[in-house]
Each structure stands twice: as structure tokens, then as C-alpha cells.
Amino acid sequence: MSSPIILAVDTTEVNVAADWVRVTQEHIGVIKLGLEFYLARGAEGVRTVRASAPNLRLFLDLKLHDIPNTVAGAVRSVADIQPDFLTVHASGGPKMIESAAKALPDGSITAVTLLTSLSASDTALMGISGNSQEIVIKWAKLAVEAGANAIVTSPQEVAALRSTLPKEIVLITPGVRPAGADSGDQARVATPAEALSWGADYVVIGRPITSGATLEEIAKNAEVILCSL
């Protein structure tokens, strides 16, 4: 496998995104473009960014969540972009995930379990029973049985999933920050090295890389983080 770093390209500016990807491509393995970027720039914007580093994989983080037929149609509408990973919410249920997987036979439907911004008190207020690990394991198992072949989970639950799910299931962890970095809006965090040691295949990193003042600093940030893994 190439670099385990998924670069979170958190901007709506196509040229900025393309520059970030271009200067970091030797140190990252996957480009992550999210809902905000897709709604602002569409499929053409995604293609432009991808063209700046065509050897990298694409993580299209749309977090689809609707009735099965609607999600299947949404997946078909982006299939020509050829995302390697396309996210749906595990909480959408097995039928929704199965429909998504059938609509993207050449990519990995990636189920997002419990958002890393949610704390235990948040899930309790929402009426979701169980602690975060119990919730994540249950949702991940159901998602994999329905056809998901990648799971997004916080670093705190990744070890339990690694020992529970089939070894071929790809585990992706957001909520990672280099030691000393601000955790931002994430509630369940770890360092990238910790997440990988616990069984993650990929770690999602954004601001610790892209907050550099210049493109040279951004490239250096990516290099330093990769060397620390």
C-alpha cells in the first residue's frame, strides 16, 4: 500500500484544492473531497482536482443517507467519477447500503459509523443506546453484511473493529491529530501513529497539513507527518 494518509481537502476553491493535492502527492495516498466541495464545484471540480495527481485514489465523502432507491440513484449519478471510496451513513440501514453497493460495483461503499464529533453525552441525548464502541461495532457489522467493504470509525473503536470484521475490510479513521495539535471539532481523537498501530488502514488528516502558510509549508507538513508514522 502507498501512504496511509488521506488528505482532507477542506476548501471549495478548485485551484486551491488542486495545488494542495499536487504539492502533497508524494506523501499522501488518497484525496478526500467532501459534500461542501461537491455541492460547490460538482463532478467537474472533482475531476480537475484529481487530474492534479492522477495516481492517487479518490475518497468522495458525501455521506449519503436516504431511502434505498434514492441513495442508489445518487450513487449512480457519481459513478462516472470513479470514486475509490464513497461514503454512506451506516445508520441508513442494511437495505440502503445494499442498494448503494449494487450501484457502485467498481468502488468501495464506505460506511460511516458514529461521527467523531459526537460524544457519549450526545448519543445519549439522541436516544442511541450503548457506548460508542458498542454502537460502532453493531453498525459496522450490519454495514459489512449489507455490502460495505470499508468502514469509517474513530481511532478509539478501530482496534475492536479490526478484531471483529473480516481482514479485507478497509478501516479509515478521521479524528487524528499529530501530538500537540488542536483537536478542533472532533470529540474522539488520537495521533495518526496510534490509529495505525490499533489497526487502521488509512488516517484522514486535513488542517495539520493544509494550514501551512505556503505551498512549500503544506508539502513539508505532509512529509513530516508521513515520516512520523
> CA 161, 163, 165, 169 torsion: positive or negative?
positive
Q: Active-site residues: which are they?
A: 63
C-alpha cell at 179: 501530538
For cell 431511502, the residue is 67
